[in-house]
Amino acid sequence: MTPTRKLTVLGSTGSIGVSTLDVVARHLDRYEIVALSANRRIDMLFEQCMQFRPKFAVVADVQKAEEFRNKILQSGIECSVLCGQDGLSQVASLDEIDTVMAAIVGAAGLPPTLAAARAGKKILLANKEALVMAGSIFMQTVKTHNATLLPIDSEHNAIFQALPLNYRGNLADSGIKKILLTASGGPFRTNPKEGLERVTPSEACAHPNWDMGKKISVDSATMMNKGLEVIEARWLFNMPYDRIQVVIHPQSIIHSLVEYIDGSVIAQLGNPDMRTPIAHALAFPERIESGVASLDLFKIATLNFEAPDFTRFPCLELAYQALRRDGNAPAVLNAANEIAVASFLDGKIGFVQIPKLIEYVLSHYAIGPISTLADVLKADVGSRELASEWLKINSAVIA
């Protein structure tokens, strides 16, 4: 009989967290939820606590934490309520858990994901910023503490499945030529570039294939999400940037591919549903039912592929630039992008201003090496300050 695996789900109210709990609910004989976390969506977190009865719940927003604590007390269920970054890191490193779903969006997910790595946990990585901001530090922490790292992004999970089982980051020994990251192209793949100036947040969040949160939906629309995934792939698979190729694939059926030196190209296919990579990582090296419908190739009939247009999607080019510059450049890119996307969603800047803000910060922040988490956090804070300065200077022009 398979022993019960005990999980912490960081970011349980987001799209990845909800999908994770959906898969877990199908296999309650195999998995036990020990801790859940949310930022501010305490009503949904409360419903999840009522269903899964975790021992711990963390509310990252300190002001919301007390309100949530009162809800738990009134419910009568036994659940300790923690708050803030300390609470997140605590539940990510509990002795009694073995697996952590790292699904907090943005830089806020880096400290608890690092805590899970230091505790030697099995990490299901959906927080790409951990690798974008601190790739070398994070991967060294995983290695030093014998943690297990499994990718959840559909593209990286597909690559993981298409690589040899014994792959240890050596391309030559494994006969790998390159990896191909597929991208849907987002909602504006065929729109005239001139019309992108009038794009609204609701239009940018309307992804044609995937049901995602607002931030990642905007990133998909600008293709920054794919740029961040290129950086993530560099660290996950020890791939030089010139061995990582982005391919536009509008149907989102092929999730990524690996090309070998003998001419073979191995792809992973499936319906666009995050429960597939989640179920794969949860059960690895076994397989479990995920709730995802079977892929009907006869219904799909045709699969299309295009080269990315770097002039239409300058954010993708900026990501490659940051990867080539290395050091703290990816952390600078990520921080500037987070400010840009939040400002766009708040109506402070237009869609086409997103890459302009990012380019400004990348051009004006001092790029240098990183050796500690403090170096990463310094770049994160400094880049956000530069981005805020750009907003002050340009707000009148944009308005």
Q: What residue segments make up the domains of the chain, in order of their start?
A: 5-151, 154-308, 326-399
pTM comes to 0.91
Q: Spell out the residues 6+ positions from residue 315 whose beta carbon is closer than 8 angstroms to its own.
A: 219, 222, 223, 224, 227, 337, 354, 355, 358
Helix (H) or strand (E) holding 23: helix 15-25
Task: Look at residue 41 in the predicted model and tell me its pLDDT.
Answer: 94
CATH superfamily, region 5-151 = NAD(P)-binding Rossmann-like Domain (3.40.50.720)
Provide the pLDDT for residue 212.
Answer: 67
Q: Which of 167, 53, 58 is nearest to 103 (CA)?
A: 58
Render pLDDT for 163-193 as a digit per residue (tens, 0 to 9): 998 898 888 899 999 999 999 888 888 888 8
CATH code: domain 326-399 is: 1.10.1740.10
Using the Cα atoms of residue 136, residue 316, residue 11 and residue 350 in order, give the sign of their dihedral: positive
Q: What is the pLDDT of residues 240-266, one digit of tens each?
A: 999 999 999 999 999 999 999 999 999
Res. 319 pLDDT band, cuts 50 70 90: very high
